[in-house]
Chain A
Protein backbone atom coordinates (compact mmCIF):
# COMPACT_ATOMS: atom_id res chain seq x y z
CA UNK A 1 0.00 0.00 0.00
CA UNK A 2 1.40 3.41 -0.98
CA UNK A 3 1.85 5.87 1.91
CA UNK A 4 -0.28 9.03 1.77
CA UNK A 5 1.39 12.01 0.07
CA UNK A 6 3.23 14.57 2.20
CA UNK A 7 1.84 17.42 0.11
CA UNK A 8 -1.43 17.44 -1.77
CA UNK A 9 -1.98 20.47 -4.00
CA UNK A 10 -5.48 20.66 -5.43
CA UNK A 11 -6.75 23.08 -8.08
CA UNK A 12 -4.33 25.79 -6.91
CA UNK A 13 -5.17 29.15 -8.38
CA UNK A 14 -3.48 32.41 -7.52
CA UNK A 15 -4.66 35.70 -8.93
CA UNK A 16 -3.30 39.17 -8.25
CA UNK A 17 -4.82 42.62 -8.66
CA UNK A 18 -8.37 41.32 -8.52
CA UNK A 19 -7.81 38.77 -11.27
CA UNK A 20 -5.93 41.06 -13.67
CA UNK A 21 -2.88 38.83 -13.26
CA UNK A 22 -3.32 35.07 -12.99
CA UNK A 23 -0.13 33.38 -11.82
CA UNK A 24 -1.57 29.89 -11.25
CA UNK A 25 -4.49 28.34 -13.07
CA UNK A 26 -5.48 25.28 -11.06
CA UNK A 27 -2.37 23.22 -10.34
CA UNK A 28 -2.99 19.78 -8.92
CA UNK A 29 -0.25 17.38 -7.87
CA UNK A 30 1.07 15.35 -4.94
CA UNK A 31 4.52 15.18 -3.45
CA UNK A 32 5.49 12.13 -1.45
CA UNK A 33 7.83 12.22 1.52
CA UNK A 34 11.46 11.90 0.46
CA UNK A 35 10.97 13.11 -3.10
CA UNK A 36 13.29 15.67 -4.72
CA UNK A 37 10.99 17.61 -7.02
CA UNK A 38 12.22 20.24 -9.45
CA UNK A 39 9.68 22.76 -10.66
CA UNK A 40 10.89 24.30 -13.86
CA UNK A 41 9.67 26.71 -16.47
CA UNK A 42 10.40 30.14 -17.93
CA UNK A 43 10.26 33.36 -15.94
CA UNK A 44 6.71 34.41 -15.04
CA UNK A 45 5.23 30.92 -15.45
CA UNK A 46 4.06 30.82 -11.80
CA UNK A 47 6.88 28.79 -10.22
CA UNK A 48 7.54 31.18 -7.36
CA UNK A 49 3.83 31.74 -6.74
CA UNK A 50 3.43 27.97 -6.46
CA UNK A 51 6.38 27.72 -4.07
CA UNK A 52 4.92 30.51 -1.90
CA UNK A 53 1.65 28.56 -1.62
CA UNK A 54 3.44 25.29 -0.82
CA UNK A 55 5.52 27.13 1.79
CA UNK A 56 2.46 28.61 3.52
CA UNK A 57 3.77 32.09 2.74
CA UNK A 58 0.72 32.96 0.68
CA UNK A 59 -2.87 31.76 0.38
CA UNK A 60 -4.45 30.56 -2.87
CA UNK A 61 -7.30 32.42 -4.53
CA UNK A 62 -8.89 29.00 -5.04
CA UNK A 63 -7.93 25.42 -4.28
CA UNK A 64 -5.98 24.16 -1.30
CA UNK A 65 -2.75 22.64 -0.08
CA UNK A 66 -2.71 19.77 2.41
CA UNK A 67 0.43 19.01 4.34
CA UNK A 68 0.53 15.58 5.95
CA UNK A 69 -3.24 15.49 5.61
CA UNK A 70 -3.80 18.93 7.20
CA UNK A 71 -5.27 21.75 5.15
CA UNK A 72 -2.92 24.74 5.43
CA UNK A 73 -5.95 27.06 5.40
CA UNK A 74 -7.09 25.51 8.69
CA UNK A 75 -3.77 26.03 10.49
CA UNK A 76 -4.01 28.95 12.94
CA UNK A 77 -0.34 29.65 13.48
CA UNK A 78 1.28 29.40 10.07
CA UNK A 79 4.47 31.03 11.36
CA UNK A 80 4.92 28.22 13.88
CA UNK A 81 4.09 25.70 11.18
CA UNK A 82 6.75 27.14 8.88
CA UNK A 83 9.31 27.32 11.68
CA UNK A 84 8.75 23.68 12.58
CA UNK A 85 8.18 22.10 9.21
CA UNK A 86 9.76 23.99 6.33
CA UNK A 87 13.26 25.14 5.50
CA UNK A 88 13.52 27.95 2.95
CA UNK A 89 16.40 28.65 0.58
CA UNK A 90 16.26 31.82 -1.51
CA UNK A 91 17.96 32.92 -4.70
CA UNK A 92 19.47 35.99 -2.98
CA UNK A 93 20.43 34.00 0.14
CA UNK A 94 18.73 36.59 2.36
CA UNK A 95 21.20 36.27 5.20
CA UNK A 96 21.03 39.04 7.77
CA UNK A 97 24.03 41.24 6.93
CA UNK A 98 24.72 42.24 10.53
CA UNK A 99 25.01 38.68 11.81
CA UNK A 100 27.88 36.24 11.42
CA UNK A 101 27.37 32.90 9.66
CA UNK A 102 26.79 31.01 12.91
CA UNK A 103 24.36 33.67 14.14
CA UNK A 104 22.43 33.58 10.88
CA UNK A 105 21.99 29.83 11.24
CA UNK A 106 20.59 30.38 14.74
CA UNK A 107 17.96 32.93 13.66
CA UNK A 108 15.14 30.39 13.00
CA UNK A 109 16.02 28.58 16.24
CA UNK A 110 14.79 31.56 18.29
CA UNK A 111 11.33 30.08 17.66
CA UNK A 112 12.40 26.57 18.62
CA UNK A 113 12.59 26.77 22.41
CA UNK A 114 16.23 25.63 22.38
CA UNK A 115 18.56 27.13 24.96
CA UNK A 116 21.19 29.65 23.93
CA UNK A 117 23.92 27.04 24.18
CA UNK A 118 21.75 24.51 22.37
CA UNK A 119 21.22 26.91 19.50
CA UNK A 120 24.92 27.69 19.24
CA UNK A 121 25.94 24.03 19.32
CA UNK A 122 23.41 23.02 16.70
CA UNK A 123 24.41 25.91 14.42
CA UNK A 124 28.09 24.98 14.78
CA UNK A 125 27.28 21.38 13.98
CA UNK A 126 25.25 22.34 10.89
CA UNK A 127 28.01 24.61 9.61
CA UNK A 128 30.50 21.83 10.28
CA UNK A 129 28.38 19.39 8.28
CA UNK A 130 28.51 21.64 5.23
CA UNK A 131 32.23 22.30 5.61
CA UNK A 132 32.04 25.89 6.82
CA UNK A 133 33.32 25.55 10.38
CA UNK A 134 36.20 27.83 9.54
CA UNK A 135 33.81 30.58 8.38
CA UNK A 136 31.51 30.54 11.43
CA UNK A 137 32.30 34.03 12.59
CA UNK A 138 32.44 35.73 9.22
CA UNK A 139 29.81 38.21 8.19
CA UNK A 140 27.93 37.39 4.95
CA UNK A 141 29.76 40.24 3.19
CA UNK A 142 33.04 38.37 3.79
CA UNK A 143 31.77 35.13 2.26
CA UNK A 144 31.66 34.10 -1.38
CA UNK A 145 28.28 33.62 -3.08
CA UNK A 146 28.58 29.86 -2.79
CA UNK A 147 29.49 30.07 0.88
CA UNK A 148 26.56 32.38 1.56
CA UNK A 149 24.17 29.95 -0.06
CA UNK A 150 25.65 27.11 1.99
CA UNK A 151 25.10 29.14 5.17
CA UNK A 152 21.52 29.75 4.00
CA UNK A 153 21.13 25.98 3.50
CA UNK A 154 22.45 25.39 7.04
CA UNK A 155 19.91 27.96 8.27
CA UNK A 156 17.13 26.14 6.42
CA UNK A 157 17.99 23.01 8.39
CA UNK A 158 18.09 24.82 11.75
CA UNK A 159 14.81 23.48 13.11
CA UNK A 160 15.17 20.05 11.45
CA UNK A 161 12.26 20.53 9.03
CA UNK A 162 10.76 17.73 6.94
CA UNK A 163 10.53 19.84 3.82
CA UNK A 164 13.05 22.05 2.02
CA UNK A 165 11.79 24.67 -0.43
CA UNK A 166 14.48 26.23 -2.61
CA UNK A 167 13.69 29.14 -4.91
CA UNK A 168 16.32 29.39 -7.66
CA UNK A 169 19.10 28.47 -5.20
CA UNK A 170 21.76 28.68 -7.91
CA UNK A 171 20.39 31.74 -9.68
CA UNK A 172 23.05 34.08 -8.27
CA UNK A 173 25.97 31.68 -8.37
CA UNK A 174 28.77 30.90 -10.80
CA UNK A 175 28.68 27.42 -12.29
CA UNK A 176 31.23 25.89 -9.89
CA UNK A 177 29.40 27.22 -6.83
CA UNK A 178 26.08 26.16 -8.36
CA UNK A 179 27.36 22.59 -8.78
CA UNK A 180 28.60 22.56 -5.22
CA UNK A 181 25.30 23.87 -3.83
CA UNK A 182 23.30 21.32 -5.84
CA UNK A 183 25.58 18.54 -4.64
CA UNK A 184 24.94 19.67 -1.09
CA UNK A 185 21.17 19.66 -1.62
CA UNK A 186 21.39 16.16 -3.08
CA UNK A 187 23.45 15.02 -0.13
CA UNK A 188 20.93 16.50 2.35
CA UNK A 189 18.09 14.82 0.46
CA UNK A 190 19.91 11.52 0.44
CA UNK A 191 21.37 11.53 3.97
CA UNK A 192 18.44 13.04 5.84
CA UNK A 193 15.69 11.60 3.69
CA UNK A 194 14.22 15.06 3.36
CA UNK A 195 11.61 16.12 0.87
CA UNK A 196 13.03 18.83 -1.38
CA UNK A 197 11.09 21.04 -3.77
CA UNK A 198 13.27 23.21 -5.92
CA UNK A 199 12.22 25.93 -8.34
CA UNK A 200 14.58 26.66 -11.21
CA UNK A 201 14.49 27.79 -14.78
CA UNK A 202 17.78 25.97 -15.41
CA UNK A 203 17.15 22.56 -17.01
CA UNK A 204 20.51 21.23 -15.79
CA UNK A 205 19.71 22.14 -12.19
CA UNK A 206 16.19 20.75 -12.60
CA UNK A 207 17.68 17.43 -13.65
CA UNK A 208 19.26 17.06 -10.22
CA UNK A 209 15.85 16.15 -8.80
CA UNK A 210 14.20 12.78 -8.87
CA UNK A 211 11.12 14.26 -10.51
CA UNK A 212 10.43 17.38 -12.57
CA UNK A 213 7.25 19.40 -12.88
CA UNK A 214 7.36 21.74 -15.89
CA UNK A 215 5.21 24.86 -15.83
CA UNK A 216 3.99 27.28 -18.45
CA UNK A 217 1.57 30.19 -18.04
CA UNK A 218 0.41 29.08 -14.60
CA UNK A 219 -0.15 25.48 -15.63
CA UNK A 220 1.79 22.31 -14.93
CA UNK A 221 2.41 21.08 -18.44
CA UNK A 222 4.44 18.00 -17.67
CA UNK A 223 5.33 15.80 -14.75
CA UNK A 224 8.02 13.17 -15.07
CA UNK A 225 6.23 11.15 -12.37
CA UNK A 226 2.84 11.22 -14.06
CA UNK A 227 0.59 9.37 -13.92
CA UNK A 228 1.95 7.33 -10.97
CA UNK A 229 1.83 10.29 -8.56
CA UNK A 230 -1.47 11.60 -9.83
CA UNK A 231 -0.26 14.98 -10.97
CA UNK A 232 -2.08 17.24 -13.39
CA UNK A 233 -3.84 20.55 -13.52
CA UNK A 234 -7.31 21.93 -13.70
CA UNK A 235 -7.89 25.16 -15.51
Chain B
Protein backbone atom coordinates (compact mmCIF):
# COMPACT_ATOMS: atom_id res chain seq x y z
CA UNK B 1 0.00 0.00 0.00
CA UNK B 2 1.19 3.50 -0.82
CA UNK B 3 -0.10 7.04 -0.53
CA UNK B 4 -1.65 6.67 -3.98
CA UNK B 5 -3.62 3.63 -2.75
CA UNK B 6 -5.18 5.83 -0.07
CA UNK B 7 -5.84 8.57 -2.62
CA UNK B 8 -7.60 6.24 -5.08
CA UNK B 9 -9.59 4.54 -2.33
CA UNK B 10 -10.72 7.91 -0.98
CA UNK B 11 -11.95 8.89 -4.43
CA UNK B 12 -13.67 5.54 -4.95
CA UNK B 13 -15.32 5.81 -1.55
CA UNK B 14 -17.56 8.57 -2.92
CA UNK B 15 -18.00 7.29 -6.47
CA UNK B 16 -20.94 9.41 -7.59
CA UNK B 17 -19.41 12.64 -6.41
CA UNK B 18 -16.00 11.79 -7.89
CA UNK B 19 -17.59 10.70 -11.16
CA UNK B 20 -19.71 13.83 -11.50
CA UNK B 21 -16.70 16.04 -10.82
CA UNK B 22 -14.61 14.11 -13.34
CA UNK B 23 -17.44 14.41 -15.89
CA UNK B 24 -17.47 18.18 -15.37
CA UNK B 25 -13.72 18.30 -16.00
CA UNK B 26 -14.12 15.97 -18.99
CA UNK B 27 -16.53 18.37 -20.66
CA UNK B 28 -14.29 21.37 -19.89
CA UNK B 29 -11.13 19.70 -21.20
CA UNK B 30 -12.99 18.38 -24.27
CA UNK B 31 -13.96 21.99 -25.02
CA UNK B 32 -10.34 23.07 -24.55
CA UNK B 33 -9.09 20.33 -26.92
CA UNK B 34 -11.76 21.01 -29.52
CA UNK B 35 -11.36 24.77 -29.58
CA UNK B 36 -7.59 24.83 -29.28
CA UNK B 37 -7.29 22.09 -31.92
CA UNK B 38 -9.58 24.02 -34.25
CA UNK B 39 -7.88 27.36 -33.72
CA UNK B 40 -4.40 25.92 -34.07
CA UNK B 41 -5.46 23.85 -37.09
CA UNK B 42 -7.05 26.90 -38.63
CA UNK B 43 -3.84 28.87 -38.35
CA UNK B 44 -1.79 25.91 -39.58
CA UNK B 45 -3.94 25.33 -42.66
CA UNK B 46 -3.78 29.04 -43.44
CA UNK B 47 0.00 28.87 -43.30
CA UNK B 48 0.02 25.61 -45.29
CA UNK B 49 -1.88 27.18 -48.14
CA UNK B 50 0.93 29.69 -48.61
CA UNK B 51 3.73 27.26 -48.03
CA UNK B 52 2.25 24.76 -50.47
CA UNK B 53 2.33 27.41 -53.19
CA UNK B 54 5.95 28.10 -52.46
CA UNK B 55 5.13 31.63 -51.36
CA UNK B 56 7.82 33.36 -49.31
CA UNK B 57 6.24 36.77 -48.80
CA UNK B 58 2.76 38.19 -49.14
CA UNK B 59 1.86 41.76 -49.93
CA UNK B 60 -1.41 43.15 -48.55
CA UNK B 61 -2.89 46.47 -47.50
CA UNK B 62 -1.69 47.71 -44.09
CA UNK B 63 -5.21 47.84 -42.73
CA UNK B 64 -6.08 44.34 -43.88
CA UNK B 65 -6.47 41.85 -41.07
CA UNK B 66 -9.50 39.88 -42.21
CA UNK B 67 -9.35 36.74 -44.33
CA UNK B 68 -10.58 38.69 -47.35
CA UNK B 69 -8.48 41.83 -47.15
CA UNK B 70 -9.21 45.06 -49.01
CA UNK B 71 -8.62 44.62 -52.75
CA UNK B 72 -6.05 46.80 -54.45
CA UNK B 73 -4.83 47.40 -57.98
CA UNK B 74 -2.53 44.69 -59.24
CA UNK B 75 -0.35 47.36 -60.87
CA UNK B 76 1.84 47.08 -57.77
CA UNK B 77 3.11 43.78 -59.15
CA UNK B 78 5.03 45.78 -61.76
CA UNK B 79 6.93 47.48 -58.94
CA UNK B 80 7.51 44.17 -57.20
CA UNK B 81 8.79 42.44 -60.31
CA UNK B 82 11.27 45.25 -60.76
CA UNK B 83 12.57 44.87 -57.23
CA UNK B 84 15.83 42.91 -56.99
CA UNK B 85 15.49 39.82 -54.79
CA UNK B 86 11.93 39.04 -55.91
CA UNK B 87 11.99 36.20 -58.39
CA UNK B 88 8.27 35.73 -59.07
CA UNK B 89 4.90 37.21 -58.19
CA UNK B 90 1.34 35.96 -58.36
CA UNK B 91 -1.75 38.09 -57.76
CA UNK B 92 -4.62 36.49 -55.88
CA UNK B 93 -8.23 37.59 -55.59
CA UNK B 94 -10.38 35.64 -53.12
CA UNK B 95 -14.08 35.58 -52.45
CA UNK B 96 -16.55 33.45 -50.56
CA UNK B 97 -19.38 32.21 -52.73
CA UNK B 98 -22.43 30.09 -52.28
CA UNK B 99 -22.46 27.77 -55.25
CA UNK B 100 -25.66 25.96 -56.16
CA UNK B 101 -26.68 23.71 -53.25
CA UNK B 102 -23.25 23.56 -51.67
CA UNK B 103 -22.26 25.49 -48.56
CA UNK B 104 -20.20 28.67 -48.98
CA UNK B 105 -16.91 27.91 -50.67
CA UNK B 106 -13.68 29.86 -50.89
CA UNK B 107 -13.04 30.84 -54.51
CA UNK B 108 -9.55 31.96 -55.49
CA UNK B 109 -8.65 33.76 -58.67
CA UNK B 110 -4.98 33.11 -59.42
CA UNK B 111 -2.89 34.92 -61.94
CA UNK B 112 -2.67 32.62 -64.95
CA UNK B 113 0.72 31.06 -65.66
CA UNK B 114 2.04 32.23 -62.28
CA UNK B 115 3.96 29.97 -59.90
CA UNK B 116 0.79 29.61 -57.80
CA UNK B 117 -0.52 26.81 -60.01
CA UNK B 118 2.58 24.68 -60.06
CA UNK B 119 2.05 22.99 -56.69
CA UNK B 120 -1.39 21.64 -57.60
CA UNK B 121 -1.56 17.95 -58.38
CA UNK B 122 -4.05 17.60 -61.20
CA UNK B 123 -6.13 14.51 -60.43
CA UNK B 124 -8.34 14.87 -63.49
CA UNK B 125 -8.65 17.29 -66.39
CA UNK B 126 -6.23 20.16 -66.83
CA UNK B 127 -5.12 23.56 -65.61
CA UNK B 128 -6.87 26.65 -67.04
CA UNK B 129 -5.29 27.73 -70.32
CA UNK B 130 -5.59 31.51 -70.05
CA UNK B 131 -6.46 34.46 -67.86
CA UNK B 132 -10.02 34.90 -69.11
CA UNK B 133 -11.03 31.31 -69.77
CA UNK B 134 -14.43 30.67 -68.13
CA UNK B 135 -13.35 27.54 -66.30
CA UNK B 136 -12.88 26.53 -62.70
CA UNK B 137 -10.75 23.91 -60.99
CA UNK B 138 -12.15 22.13 -57.97
CA UNK B 139 -10.20 20.97 -55.00
CA UNK B 140 -10.73 17.24 -54.39
CA UNK B 141 -12.94 17.82 -51.31
CA UNK B 142 -14.86 20.64 -53.01
CA UNK B 143 -15.54 18.32 -55.96
CA UNK B 144 -16.84 15.68 -53.59
CA UNK B 145 -19.02 18.14 -51.67
CA UNK B 146 -20.37 19.73 -54.88
CA UNK B 147 -20.69 16.31 -56.57
CA UNK B 148 -18.99 17.64 -59.71
CA UNK B 149 -16.57 16.08 -62.17
CA UNK B 150 -14.51 17.37 -65.09
CA UNK B 151 -16.77 18.68 -67.83
CA UNK B 152 -19.67 19.53 -65.52
CA UNK B 153 -20.78 23.10 -65.20
CA UNK B 154 -21.26 25.10 -62.01
CA UNK B 155 -23.21 28.27 -61.51
CA UNK B 156 -21.09 30.94 -59.80
CA UNK B 157 -23.14 33.99 -59.01
CA UNK B 158 -24.79 34.85 -62.37
CA UNK B 159 -22.52 32.92 -64.64
CA UNK B 160 -21.88 29.34 -65.57
CA UNK B 161 -18.38 27.88 -65.51
CA UNK B 162 -17.04 24.58 -66.77
CA UNK B 163 -15.02 22.36 -64.47
CA UNK B 164 -11.73 21.97 -66.33
CA UNK B 165 -9.91 20.00 -63.68
CA UNK B 166 -9.84 18.55 -60.19
CA UNK B 167 -6.74 18.93 -58.06
CA UNK B 168 -5.20 17.91 -54.79
CA UNK B 169 -3.02 20.26 -52.75
CA UNK B 170 -0.96 19.84 -49.61
CA UNK B 171 -3.21 22.48 -48.09
CA UNK B 172 -6.54 21.29 -46.78
CA UNK B 173 -8.11 24.70 -47.27
CA UNK B 174 -7.16 24.58 -50.96
CA UNK B 175 -8.60 21.09 -51.31
CA UNK B 176 -11.93 22.46 -50.12
CA UNK B 177 -11.73 25.47 -52.44
CA UNK B 178 -12.26 26.44 -56.06
CA UNK B 179 -9.57 28.15 -58.11
CA UNK B 180 -9.98 29.87 -61.42
CA UNK B 181 -8.06 32.26 -63.62
CA UNK B 182 -7.70 35.65 -61.99
CA UNK B 183 -9.23 37.54 -64.92
CA UNK B 184 -12.38 35.41 -64.83
CA UNK B 185 -12.95 35.99 -61.12
CA UNK B 186 -12.25 39.71 -61.47
CA UNK B 187 -14.88 39.90 -64.23
CA UNK B 188 -17.37 37.84 -62.24
CA UNK B 189 -17.00 39.98 -59.11
CA UNK B 190 -16.59 43.27 -61.03
CA UNK B 191 -13.18 43.80 -59.51
CA UNK B 192 -11.28 44.17 -62.74
CA UNK B 193 -7.57 44.68 -62.20
CA UNK B 194 -7.88 44.08 -58.45
CA UNK B 195 -6.30 41.53 -56.12
CA UNK B 196 -6.39 40.94 -52.35
CA UNK B 197 -2.84 39.63 -52.09
CA UNK B 198 0.29 39.35 -54.09
CA UNK B 199 2.27 36.21 -53.38
CA UNK B 200 6.01 36.56 -53.89
CA UNK B 201 8.90 34.19 -54.27
CA UNK B 202 12.23 35.60 -53.19
CA UNK B 203 15.76 34.72 -54.09
CA UNK B 204 16.54 31.64 -51.93
CA UNK B 205 20.09 32.83 -51.38
CA UNK B 206 18.91 35.79 -49.29
CA UNK B 207 19.83 35.53 -45.64
CA UNK B 208 17.38 36.72 -42.93
CA UNK B 209 18.98 40.18 -42.75
CA UNK B 210 18.80 40.63 -46.51
CA UNK B 211 15.18 39.44 -46.47
CA UNK B 212 14.36 41.99 -43.78
CA UNK B 213 15.98 44.73 -45.87
CA UNK B 214 14.02 43.57 -48.93
CA UNK B 215 10.78 43.86 -46.97
CA UNK B 216 11.71 47.35 -45.81
CA UNK B 217 12.47 48.35 -49.40
CA UNK B 218 9.10 47.04 -50.66
CA UNK B 219 7.17 48.79 -47.91
CA UNK B 220 9.04 52.03 -48.66
CA UNK B 221 8.31 51.73 -52.37
CA UNK B 222 4.66 50.93 -51.77
CA UNK B 223 3.26 53.11 -48.99
CA UNK B 224 0.09 51.73 -47.43
CA UNK B 225 1.20 48.15 -48.03
CA UNK B 226 2.77 45.66 -45.72
CA UNK B 227 4.71 42.47 -46.32
CA UNK B 228 4.10 39.35 -44.31
CA UNK B 229 5.85 36.03 -43.97
CA UNK B 230 3.51 33.04 -44.27
CA UNK B 231 3.45 32.66 -40.48
CA UNK B 232 2.88 36.37 -39.92
CA UNK B 233 0.02 36.55 -42.36
CA UNK B 234 -1.79 33.74 -40.62
CA UNK B 235 -1.06 35.19 -37.19
CA UNK B 236 -2.19 38.65 -38.30
CA UNK B 237 -5.36 37.22 -39.76
CA UNK B 238 -8.27 38.50 -37.70
CA UNK B 239 -10.17 35.21 -38.10
CA UNK B 240 -7.17 33.30 -36.73
CA UNK B 241 -6.83 35.79 -33.91
CA UNK B 242 -10.53 35.53 -33.02
CA UNK B 243 -10.47 31.74 -33.08
CA UNK B 244 -7.32 31.69 -30.92
CA UNK B 245 -8.77 34.27 -28.56
CA UNK B 246 -11.95 32.23 -28.21
CA UNK B 247 -9.99 29.07 -27.51
CA UNK B 248 -7.90 30.81 -24.83
CA UNK B 249 -11.00 32.37 -23.26
CA UNK B 250 -12.83 29.03 -23.25
CA UNK B 251 -9.81 27.31 -21.77
CA UNK B 252 -9.62 29.90 -19.00
CA UNK B 253 -13.33 29.51 -18.25
CA UNK B 254 -12.92 25.73 -18.26
CA UNK B 255 -10.00 26.03 -15.82
CA UNK B 256 -11.88 28.32 -13.46
CA UNK B 257 -15.12 26.31 -13.54
CA UNK B 258 -13.22 23.02 -13.31
CA UNK B 259 -11.02 24.23 -10.46
CA UNK B 260 -14.04 25.45 -8.50
CA UNK B 261 -15.77 22.09 -9.11
CA UNK B 262 -12.73 20.14 -7.98
CA UNK B 263 -12.25 22.43 -4.99
CA UNK B 264 -15.85 21.94 -3.96
CA UNK B 265 -15.58 18.16 -4.17
CA UNK B 266 -12.23 17.91 -2.42
CA UNK B 267 -13.21 20.45 0.22
CA UNK B 268 -16.38 18.48 1.05
CA UNK B 269 -14.31 15.34 1.24
CA UNK B 270 -11.78 17.04 3.56
CA UNK B 271 -14.50 18.38 5.86
CA UNK B 272 -16.06 14.93 6.03
CA UNK B 273 -12.72 13.41 6.96
CA UNK B 274 -11.43 15.93 9.48
CA UNK B 275 -11.28 13.31 12.21
CA UNK B 276 -9.40 10.98 9.86
CA UNK B 277 -6.93 13.76 9.17
CA UNK B 278 -6.61 14.22 12.94
CA UNK B 279 -5.84 10.50 13.31
CA UNK B 280 -3.23 10.68 10.57
CA UNK B 281 -1.59 13.68 12.25
CA UNK B 282 -1.76 11.95 15.62
CA UNK B 283 -0.08 8.79 14.40
CA UNK B 284 2.78 10.81 13.02
CA UNK B 285 1.93 11.91 9.50
CA UNK B 286 3.66 15.17 8.71
CA UNK B 287 1.50 18.04 7.52
CA UNK B 288 3.15 17.97 4.12
CA UNK B 289 1.99 14.37 3.66
CA UNK B 290 -1.57 15.51 4.38
CA UNK B 291 -1.11 18.31 1.82
CA UNK B 292 0.29 15.83 -0.71
CA UNK B 293 -2.59 13.40 -0.14
CA UNK B 294 -5.26 16.07 -0.65
CA UNK B 295 -3.50 17.62 -3.65
CA UNK B 296 -3.08 14.17 -5.19
CA UNK B 297 -6.79 13.47 -4.77
CA UNK B 298 -7.53 16.72 -6.54
CA UNK B 299 -4.98 16.17 -9.30
CA UNK B 300 -5.94 12.51 -9.86
CA UNK B 301 -9.57 13.54 -10.18
CA UNK B 302 -8.82 16.27 -12.68
CA UNK B 303 -6.25 14.25 -14.64
CA UNK B 304 -8.75 11.39 -15.02
CA UNK B 305 -11.25 13.98 -16.24
CA UNK B 306 -8.48 15.43 -18.43
CA UNK B 307 -7.72 12.09 -20.08
CA UNK B 308 -11.40 11.43 -20.76
CA UNK B 309 -11.84 15.04 -21.92
CA UNK B 310 -8.89 14.82 -24.31
CA UNK B 311 -10.28 11.61 -25.83
CA UNK B 312 -13.76 13.15 -26.06
CA UNK B 313 -12.33 16.33 -27.64
CA UNK B 314 -10.44 14.32 -30.27
CA UNK B 315 -13.55 12.26 -31.05
CA UNK B 316 -15.64 15.45 -31.29
CA UNK B 317 -13.13 16.98 -33.71
CA UNK B 318 -13.04 13.84 -35.83
CA UNK B 319 -16.84 13.85 -36.01
CA UNK B 320 -16.84 17.58 -36.90
CA UNK B 321 -14.28 16.96 -39.63
CA UNK B 322 -16.64 14.50 -41.31
CA UNK B 323 -19.83 16.50 -41.06
CA UNK B 324 -20.88 17.69 -44.56
CA UNK B 325 -20.94 21.35 -43.58
CA UNK B 326 -17.38 21.35 -42.23
CA UNK B 327 -15.79 18.71 -44.39
CA UNK B 328 -12.70 20.11 -46.03
CA UNK B 329 -13.01 23.33 -44.07
CA UNK B 330 -11.31 22.39 -40.85
CA UNK B 331 -8.03 20.66 -40.24
CA UNK B 332 -7.86 20.26 -36.46
CA UNK B 333 -4.39 20.32 -35.00
CA UNK B 334 -4.13 17.28 -32.75
CA UNK B 335 -0.43 17.65 -32.16
CA UNK B 336 1.29 16.79 -28.90
CA UNK B 337 1.36 20.51 -28.11
CA UNK B 338 -2.43 20.78 -28.21
CA UNK B 339 -3.19 17.48 -26.44
CA UNK B 340 -0.33 17.90 -23.97
CA UNK B 341 -1.49 21.45 -23.35
CA UNK B 342 -4.99 20.22 -22.49
CA UNK B 343 -3.53 17.66 -20.08
CA UNK B 344 -1.37 20.38 -18.53
CA UNK B 345 -4.53 22.46 -18.10
CA UNK B 346 -6.12 19.56 -16.22
CA UNK B 347 -3.10 19.24 -13.91
CA UNK B 348 -3.13 23.00 -13.21
CA UNK B 349 -6.84 22.78 -12.57
CA UNK B 350 -6.30 19.93 -10.09
CA UNK B 351 -3.54 21.76 -8.24
CA UNK B 352 -5.56 24.99 -8.08
CA UNK B 353 -8.66 23.11 -6.94
CA UNK B 354 -6.73 21.21 -4.28
CA UNK B 355 -4.70 24.04 -2.77
CA UNK B 356 -7.37 25.46 -0.50
CA UNK B 357 -8.67 22.10 0.77
CA UNK B 358 -5.07 20.99 1.35
CA UNK B 359 -4.40 24.16 3.33
CA UNK B 360 -7.54 23.58 5.41
CA UNK B 361 -6.62 19.95 6.06
CA UNK B 362 -3.03 20.66 6.97
CA UNK B 363 -3.97 23.49 9.34
CA UNK B 364 -6.02 21.16 11.56
CA UNK B 365 -4.70 20.52 15.01
CA UNK B 366 -4.75 16.79 15.70
CA UNK B 367 -6.74 17.19 18.90
CA UNK B 368 -9.34 19.46 17.29
CA UNK B 369 -9.65 17.13 14.31
CA UNK B 370 -10.01 14.10 16.59
CA UNK B 371 -12.91 15.79 18.38
CA UNK B 372 -14.57 16.55 14.99
CA UNK B 373 -17.11 13.77 14.62
Contact = CB atoms under 8 A, between A and B. Distances in A.
Given A57-B367, A106-B1, A96 B6 contact: yes
Nearest to B3: A110
A120 B367 contact: no
12 contacts: A57-B365, A58-B366, A58-B367, A77-B286, A80-B284, A90-B279, A94-B279, A98-B6, A108-B285, A110-B289, A111-B284, A120-B1
B5 A103 contact: yes
Nearest to A102: B1
Residue among A58, A98, A108 facing the most chain B CB atoms (10 A cut-off): A98
Nearest to B8: A98
Residue among B6, B284, B285 facing the most chain A CB atoms (10 A cut-off): B284
* Chain A interface extent, by class: 20 to 34
A73 interface: no
A42 to B, nearest CB: 19
Contact of B285 (A79, A92, A102, A155): A79
B283 interface: yes
Interface in A42-56: 52, 55
Interface in A34-89: 52, 55, 57-58, 77, 79-84, 86-88
Interface stretch (B9-17, B19-27, B52-60, B89-97): B9-17
Contacts, number: 79
Residue among A84, A87, A107, A155 facing the most chain B CB atoms (10 A cut-off): A107
Residue among B1, B3, B13, B373 facing the most chain A CB atoms (10 A cut-off): B1
A134 interface: no
Contacts of B13: 97-98
Given A58-B366, A80-B284, 16 more contacts: A55-B282, A58-B367, A79-B286, A82-B283, A82-B284, A83-B283, A84-B284, A86-B284, A88-B279, A90-B370, A94-B275, A98-B10, A98-B12, A107-B283, A110-B289, A111-B286
Contacts of B6: 96, 98-99, 103, 107
Given A96-B6, A97-B13, A120-B1, A159 B284 contact: yes
A111 B289 contact: yes
A108 B284 contact: yes
A116 B9 contact: no
B321 interface: no
7 closest residue pairs by CB, A with B:
A83-B284, A98-B9, A94-B279, A82-B284, A98-B13, A108-B283, A103-B1
Contacts of B281: 57, 79
Interface in B277-311: 279-287, 289
A77 B286 CA distance: 8
A10 interface: no
A156 B284 CA distance: 11
